[in-house]
Amino acid sequence: MKIVSHYLQGIADVGFFPSISLLIFFLFFAGMLWWTFKKSNKEFFTEMESYALDEDGVNSSSEAKE
C-alpha cells in the first residue's frame, strides 16, 4: 500500500489522532459513569423509570374514556 503509507507520512503525528479520540471518549465516559452511580441520584432515577407510565394517569386526565 505505497500510496496509503504516503498519505500517512504526509500528516505530522497522524498516529496521534486515534489516541486523542480515545482519550476524549474515555474521560467523557468515566465522568458520566461517576455521575450516574452517585448515590444521591438513585431516588430520582427510580422516579424517572416509570415516567412514561405516569404521564396520562397521575397528573392529567387524558386517559381514554372507557
Partner 1 sequence: METQHFSYDNKIVKFFAYATILWGVVGMLVGLLAALQLAFPIFNFNLAYTSFGRIRPIHTNAVIFAFVGNGIFTAVYYSLQRLLKARMFNDRLSWIHFWGWQAIIVSAAVTFVLGITTSKEYAELEWPIDIAITIIWVVFGWNMFGTILRRRADHLYVAIWFYIATFVTVAVLHIGNSISLPYSWIQSYPVYAGVQDALVQWWYGHNAVAFFLTTPYLGLMYYFLPKAANRPIYSYRLSIIHFWALVFLYIWAGPHHLLYTSLPDWAQSLGVVFSIMLLAPSWGGMFNGLLTLRGAWDKVRDSATLKFMVVAVTCYGMSTFEGPMMSLKWVNSLTHYTDWTIAHVHIGALGWNGFLTFGMLYYLFPKMWNTKLYSEKLANAHFWVGTLGIIFYALPLYWGAIVQTLMWKEFTPDGLLAYPNFLETVTQILPMYHVRVFGGLLYFSGLFLMVYNLLKTAALGKCIDNEEASAPAIVTDTKRSKNEGLHRWLERKPVQFMILATVAILIGGAFEIIPTYLIKSNIPTIESVKPYTPLELQGRDIYIREGCNTCHSQMVRPFRSETERYGEYSKAGESVYDHPHLWGSKRTGPDLAREGVPGGKMYKTNVWHFNHMLDPQKMNAQSIMPKYPWLIKDVLDTSSTPAKIRAMTTLGVPYAEGYDLIANDDLRKQAEEIAADLKNSGVEVASDKEILAVIAYLQRLGRDISVQK
Are the C-beta atoms of 62 and 56 separated by less than 8 Å?
Answer: yes
Cell of 13: 503525528
Are the C-beta atoms of 14 and 8 separated by less than 8 Å?
Answer: yes
Region 2-61 residues binding partner 1, contact defined as CB under 8 A: 3-8, 10-11, 14-15, 17-18, 20-22, 24-25, 28-29, 32-33, 35-38, 40-41, 44-46, 48-53, 55-56, 59-61
Q: How far apart are CA 35 and CA 22, in angstroms?
A: 20
Interface ranges with partner 1 (CB under 8 A): 1, 3-8, 10-11, 14-15, 17-18, 20-22, 24-25, 28-29, 32-33, 35-38, 40-41, 44-46, 48-53, 55-56, 59-62, 64-65
